[in-house]
Amino acid sequence: MELTREEESALKGEQGEIMEMAYRILVATGEATDAEKLIPIEWTHLSGVNYNTIGDAGEEFLSSISKDARVKVKTTLNPMGFDIDNVSNYGLDENFISKQLSIRNSYETMGVIPSFSCIPYEIFDIPKVGTQVAFAESNAAIHANSYDNLKTNKESAFSALASALTGKSPYSSLRKEDSPNVSIRMNVDNPNELTYGMLGYFAGKVGDISVNISGLGEMDNRQCKAMCGGMGTSGTCAKFIFGEDDSDSEKIDFDEKAMQNVHDELNTSEKGDIITLGSPQLGLEEISELAGKLKGRSFEKRCMIFTPRTIKEKAQKIGYTNELERAGCEILSDCCTCLTPLINKNDVDAVTTNSIKGAFYLKNSNGVDVNLKSLSRIIEDETR
């Protein structure tokens, strides 16, 4: 990768340790993705916020760099481990809370917007077509490339941080025009958001950098998000290209059998003790729709709902949160199902969710069983 004289100087450490580290990460990223140069980016979205995921090493690292490091471009932030408004209801220990607040403080000191959301594409204005960004949250990177006409690598937590500190990112293949080497034909009738989540998970396993998908009908926002969340969980792929593919690329069917395989891999229980909705976090449209579906009904089990703080505030004003709480929902902002420390196997055997991404991490990281159901099935089976 070619560097400018100024970039070379930073890599040699002539602009301080922070810049040296940032450029070392950018160079490794660039070499890994065959980029020929670095280019300016306008927005970064960072992962690596939840103390549950980054641990003491991450907390100490951020605390140390935040003494000097400052972001150079608009930088937003993934969810953390809890909602400070109701954290006392969930039995987290004091160490967790204080370490999480230290992480929050380090990011704020560096100049990061404390959005604590995995759906930046729903809570911030989308810049003009073709804008180069650097999104670390996998579902957000895929959404940005596939639906929002933005361009990003599927950044790692560190490459996005390096981009925030330098305002640059390697000019890798996802930032250019590319042609996917695999084309998936959607061949399942009457799909719901769970189907699309499984399709995304399947696509992430067979695709490489981007994947073509044909045979899709009209999709709603929930289904688009589910597909991005699924793909981000299983692979390195970071872009859907929609439409018929006439090229010679490999064609693979996503049919009932392929879907059943994904289902069997992730669904380990026939029922759950609690329900979680939101990974990715729910947007206002989904909250509104849920409030509508719950009119006159109540959950018979605990139901945790994850949404960004800005959405929760809007939902409060409109009256949705009252309606949801009446139906027995616990509404949590700033955090998400994925990698939540609020669910653990000492208290919970199995979780019912419609999120493929949530299912993967609940199963593998939280060690609980998962019962996969679409939202309409959840409402049918679990409320009255």
- The residues binding other proteins (CB under 8 A) are 21, 24-25, 27-29, 31-33, 47-48, 50, 53-58, 61, 78, 136-138, 141, 153-160, 162, 204, 208, 232-236, 265, 338-339, 360-361, 364-365, 367
DSSP string covering 165-227: HHSEEE--GGGS----SEEEEE--SS--HHHHHHHHHHHHHH-SS-EEEES-----HHHHHHH
58: left (phi over 0), alpha (psi -120 to 50) or beta: alpha
Q: Which is nearer to other proteins, 80 or 379 (CB)?
A: 80
**Sequence-separated (6 or more) residues with CB below 8 Å from residue 207:** 180, 181, 182, 184, 231, 235, 237
Residue 269 is given by DSSP the state -
Q: Which is nearer to other proteins, 198 or 290 (CB)?
A: 198
- Minimum Å gap between C-beta 60 and other proteins is 8
- Minimum Å gap between C-beta 360 and other proteins is 8
Q: Which is nearer to other proteins, 26 or 375 (CB)?
A: 26
Q: Which is nearer to other proteins, 294 or 335 (CB)?
A: 335
Q: Which is nearer to other proteins, 191 or 280 (CB)?
A: 280
- Minimum Å gap between C-beta 363 and other proteins is 9
- Minimum Å gap between C-beta 152 and other proteins is 11
Beta-ladder partners of 330: 304
- Minimum Å gap between C-beta 329 and other proteins is 26
Q: Which is nearer to other proteins, 1 or 327 (CB)?
A: 1
What are the helix (H) ranges across the chain? 5-11, 17-32, 51-65, 94-109, 120-123, 138-146, 157-166, 193-206, 221-234, 256-266, 284-293, 309-318, 320-326, 356-364, 375-382
- Minimum Å gap between C-beta 159 and other proteins is 5
- Characterize 71-101 residue by residue with b for buried, 16 or more Cβ atoms within 10 angstroms of its Cβ, and e for exposed: bbbbbbbbbbbbbeeebeebebeeebbebbe
Strand (E) or helix (H) holding 277: strand 274-277
Placement of tokens 């605990």 in the chain:
302
- Minimum Å gap between C-beta 49 and other proteins is 8
Q: Which is nearer to other proteins, 81 or 191 (CB)?
A: 81
- Minimum Å gap between C-beta 250 and other proteins is 16
Q: Which is nearer to other proteins, 57 or 129 (CB)?
A: 57
Nearest Cα neighbor of 237 from 184, 281, 189, 191 is 184
**Sequence-separated (6 or more) residues with CB below 8 Å from residue 380:** none
Strand (E) or helix (H) holding 253: strand 250-254
- Minimum Å gap between C-beta 131 and other proteins is 20
CA dist list (Å): 23 to 31, 34, 136, 168, 245: 12, 16, 17, 9, 38
Q: Which is nearer to other proteins, 159 or 195 (CB)?
A: 159
